[in-house]
Structure formats: C-alpha cells, structure tokens
C-alpha cells in the first residue's frame, strides 16, 4: 500500500494564527476557553474559545482580498494560505482540495447577516476557497457531523490511493453561532463551566471555533519535521440512534479494530490516544466502553476539549495536528479539566503534561448520526 503522509499544517484559533501558538499554550496548560457574554448568540453567558475578529481581519487583509468574504471564509483562507505557502506546492491538476465542515456559512441564514442566503450552500463555500487560490480541481466538501475533520484525512488518503490526486490540502472549520449553541442548548448538553472530559464533576460540552489545514501527500520529499504516516483508518456506524451514542460503543469499537487491522498493529503498539471526549455523560461513557473492549484502557489518553471546546467539523483535524506535535516532542499533554474518573470503566487519563517516548497514536471521533472514525498515525522515522 502507498505511504500517505501528513505534512505542513496551520491552526487558526483563539491562541493565534499558527500551529505553534496553540501548541505552546497547550504545553503550558493554558485554556483557550473564556466566559462569553453575547446575548445575540445565547441569552446566558457561556464558555467558548473564539477567534478575535480584529486580529482575523488584520491577518486576512494581508492576503489582499478582492471581494467580501464571510467570517468563516476568512478563517479558512487565512489558515489554508499559510499551509499552501509553506508547502511551496504548485496547484496543478494533481492537487486536490477537501473542505471539512458541519455547518459552513450557516450564519448567513440570520436576517441581519449582510451576505446572500445562497452563501449557505456548502458547494458555494467550497468554490470560494477553490477560486481564491486557483485550485484546478473542484473542492470536495465533506459534511459528516463531528467526525468530518478526521474522516477528511482518510478521504484524502483514499483519493490519493485511487490516483485521483498526488497531494490533497484539507481545510476544516466551523463557527460558534446562535444556530449551533441554541441547538446544543435544546439538548441541555451545554456546560455552564469550562468542560471537564471524563471527570466525575463534568456537566456538559463547550463549543469553540478554529480553522485548520494540512497537506496530505504521497511525496516524502514534501515533509516537515513533525510529519506522520497515516497507517490505518476506518469509520463505522453505531446503527443504534441518531442523536445518542451506542451504549456498547459498537461503531467506535469496530472503527478502532478495523483501523488497527489495516495498520497491522496490536493495542500494545499504541503509545497515546487523542480521544473525542466531549464531556457529555453519554459520549465519555461510550468511549470508555469502546476503549476497554479494544484493550486500550491502559494507554495514556486525553481530550483536548478543555483547551478549545468542541470545534465540531474541525475538531478531528485540529486534534490530529496537535497529536503530531505531541508525538514528535515525546510529550503527553494534560487532559485539561480532569480531576477524578467519572466513567464506569478504567481509562488512563493524562493528568499532567509528561514526557514519554512515543511513535504511534490513535485519534478517534464520534458524532450525531451514529458515526465514528478512528485513525492511526506513526512517526515517519520509526
């Protein structure tokens, strides 16, 4: 099977406009979450990590835009322009573009939004990104709930394997909007405090926003010093419920086993798990069951939601990029917000940032519609 690598990358977040600024803050256990009081989005104050609009506008103006772009488009363009530039790749017909998002420009449905409602069509969003940089291929938009970001990496690999592309830029992003928060609020899933994944005293989810991007390539001449190889991936449905996770962790368990089979590794080869960990009771419990079924209960594990909140369609890509840095710095980052185990099965939650020699990590994600994705990444020189 072909080698497929993850290479140049960027994170636009509350921490700043590159991957390094997010990593530095995580290393120092600084949360990006803060109390937001904006009654246009939600009547009550809520915890979130938001990208500062003034710094975003400033960064975006440097790209010399020729027309007006929505807030999400600005985030995606700022992130992707950095990744494309660093890669030095020419955008030929062998280069693909995948956009991963759950809701795209959904804020244009608000009556006071200055953009036309047609901007809410995801293909139009894809085309805006494609046209801005002059991609030769149509942007492929993947919208598969909260597994979109990590599934997009598997999708990129699959198109490279089919020889459709040699390189694929994946860009992911979702906004914190009234649309999203009111929905999660209607499920009574929002926490009134910073979220605490897997913790006994957890009380729900925080929603955050990021834009992130990465180069997926078959070419080992275009790697960075933190590049990883994508050695196994799978997505399995729970076939159980559209808005609640399976009690047996069925789809996640099957995804992990299938990804391990493809990677030809056993559970004991995995050094670290970057889990989904939304800090809702049902999600965290389902993951604990699935990880135990897969014999992964002793592997050090964290959720990064305590730093960013849940960043929806971008979360899987965001957390994969941070996992790459974690692997190469041989550092396991603390699962922020965690004090005491609050799930029924044992898990080895990373309580404080520690050093550990690592070469392989597992990334998982789960979402509405019963979808689950597992992906396994390995250091290039191991």
Partner 1 sequence: MNRSDYHIKSYCRIRDGKISKDGELLFSDASEEFPAFIKAAYKYFETDYSKFFKMDNLSKLAFMGAEVLLRGNDEENTALILSNRASSLDTDRKHQAAISNPKGGFASPAVFVYTLPNICMGEISIRHKLYSENSFFIFAEFNPHLLSDYTNDLLETGKANEVLCGWVDYDKNKYDAFLYVIGKKGLLAHNTEELTKLYRTK
Rounded to the nearest 5°, which phi and psi values hold at 10?
Answer: -150, 145
Rounded to the nearest 5°, which phi and psi values hold at 197?
Answer: -55, 135
Site stretch for partner 1 (CB under 8 A), options 3-11, 119-127, 271-279, 330-338:
119-127
Check binding of 183 to partner 1 (CB under 8 A). yes
Check binding of 235 to partner 1 (CB under 8 A). yes
Look up tokens 């280069």; give the residue.
Answer: 95
Check binding of 242 to partner 1 (CB under 8 A). yes
Check binding of 120 to partner 1 (CB under 8 A). yes
Subset of residues 76 to 115 that bind partner 1, contact rule: CB under 8 A: 102-104, 106, 109-111
Rounded to an integer, what distance in angstroms lies between the CA atom of residue 88 and that of residue 363? 28
Check binding of 53 to partner 1 (CB under 8 A). no
Q: Which of 203, 237, 295, 297 binds partner 1 (CB under 8 A)?
A: 237
- Looking at the Cβ atoms of 160 and 332, the one nearer to partner 1 is 160
- Looking at the Cβ atoms of 187 and 382, the one nearer to partner 1 is 187
At how many degrees (to 10) do helices 281-293 and 250-263 cross? 40
Please, is 221 exposed, middle or buried when counting C-beta atoms within 10 Å of its C-beta (0-12, 13-18, 19+)? exposed
Please, is 269 exposed, middle or buried when counting C-beta atoms within 10 Å of its C-beta (0-12, 13-18, 19+)? middle
Check binding of 68 to partner 1 (CB under 8 A). no
Check binding of 34 to partner 1 (CB under 8 A). no
Subset of residues 250 to 269 that bind partner 1, contact rule: CB under 8 A: 250-251, 254, 258, 262
Which stretches does DSSP call E strand in 77-138?
A: 95-100
Check binding of 243 to partner 1 (CB under 8 A). yes
Site stretch for partner 1 (CB under 8 A), options 234-242, 290-298, 346-354, 374-382:
234-242
CB of 47 to partner 1, least distance (A): 19
Q: Which of 234, 321, 375, 376 binds partner 1 (CB under 8 A)?
A: 234
Rounded to an integer, what distance in angstroms lies between the CA atom of residue 127 and that of residue 364? 29
Site stretch for partner 1 (CB under 8 A), options 17-25, 59-67, 159-167, 203-211:
159-167
CB of 369 to partner 1, least distance (A): 3
- Looking at the Cβ atoms of 81 and 372, the one nearer to partner 1 is 372
Annotate 142-197 with DSSP letters as a single string: E--GGGHHHHHHHHHHHHHHTTS-SEEEEEEEE---HHHHHHHHHTT-B-SSS--T
CB of 30 to partner 1, least distance (A): 32
Subset of residues 288 to 327 that bind partner 1, contact rule: CB under 8 A: none
* Residue 182 near residue 141 (C-beta atoms within 8 A): no
CA distances 350 to 95, 112, 166, 280, 332, Å, are 38, 44, 37, 18, 7
Look up tokens 């690592």; give the residue.
Answer: 358
- Looking at the Cβ atoms of 145 and 269, the one nearer to partner 1 is 145
Check binding of 185 to partner 1 (CB under 8 A). yes
* Residue 236 near residue 251 (C-beta atoms within 8 A): yes
Binding site for partner 1 (CB under 8 A): 102-104, 106, 109-111, 120-123, 126-127, 138, 140-145, 151, 155, 158-159, 161-162, 164, 178-179, 182-183, 185-187, 234-243, 250-251, 254, 258, 262, 367-371
């Amino acid at each position: 099977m072909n080698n497929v690598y993850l290479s140049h990358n960027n994170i636009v977040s509350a921490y700043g406009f590159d991957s390094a600024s997010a990593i530095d803050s995580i290393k120092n256990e600084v949360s990006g979450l803060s109390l937001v009081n904006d009654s246009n989005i939600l009547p009550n104050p809520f915890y979130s990590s938001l990208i500062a609009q003034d710094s975003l506008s400033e960064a975006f103006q440097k790209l010399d835009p020729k027309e007006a772009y929505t807030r999400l488009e600005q985030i995606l363009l700022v992130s992707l322009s950095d990744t494309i530039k660093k890669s030095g790749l020419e955008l030929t017909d062998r280069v693909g573009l995948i956009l991963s998002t759950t809701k795209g420009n959904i804020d244009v449905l608000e009556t006071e939004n200055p953009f036309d409602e047609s901007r809410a069509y995801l293909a139009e969003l894809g085309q805006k990104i494609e046209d801005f940089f002059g991609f030769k291929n149509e942007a492929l938009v993947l919208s598969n709930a909260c597994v979109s970001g990590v599934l997009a990496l598997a999708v990129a690999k699959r198109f490279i394997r089919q020889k459709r592309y040699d390189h694929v830029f994946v860009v992911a992003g979702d906004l914190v909007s009234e649309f999203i928060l009111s929905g999660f609020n209607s499920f009574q899933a929002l926490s009134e405090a910073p979220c605490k994944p897997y913790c006994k005293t957890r009380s729900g989810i925080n929603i955050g926003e990021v834009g992130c991007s990465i180069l997926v390539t078959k070419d080992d001449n275009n790697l960075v010093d933190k590049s990883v190889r994508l050695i196994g991936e799978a997505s399995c449905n729970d076939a159980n419920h559209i808005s609640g996770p399976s009690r047996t962790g069925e789809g996640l368990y099957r995804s992990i086993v299938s990804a391990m089979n493809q990677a030809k590794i056993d559970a004991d080869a995995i050094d670290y798990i970057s889990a989904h960990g939304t800090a809702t009771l049902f999600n965290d419990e389902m993951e604990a069951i699935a990880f135990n079924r897969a014999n992964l209960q002793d592997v050090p594990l964290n959720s990064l939601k305590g730093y960013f909140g849940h960043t929806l369609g971008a979360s899987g890509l965001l957390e994969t990029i941070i996992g790459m840095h974690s692997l190469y710095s041989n550092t396991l980052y603390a699962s922020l917000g965690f004090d005491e185990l609050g799930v029924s099965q044992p898990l080895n939650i990373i309580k404080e940032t520690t050093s550990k020699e690592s070469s392989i990590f597992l990334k998982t994600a789960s979402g509405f519609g019963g979808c689950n994705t597992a992906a396994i990444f390995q250091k290039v020189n191991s």
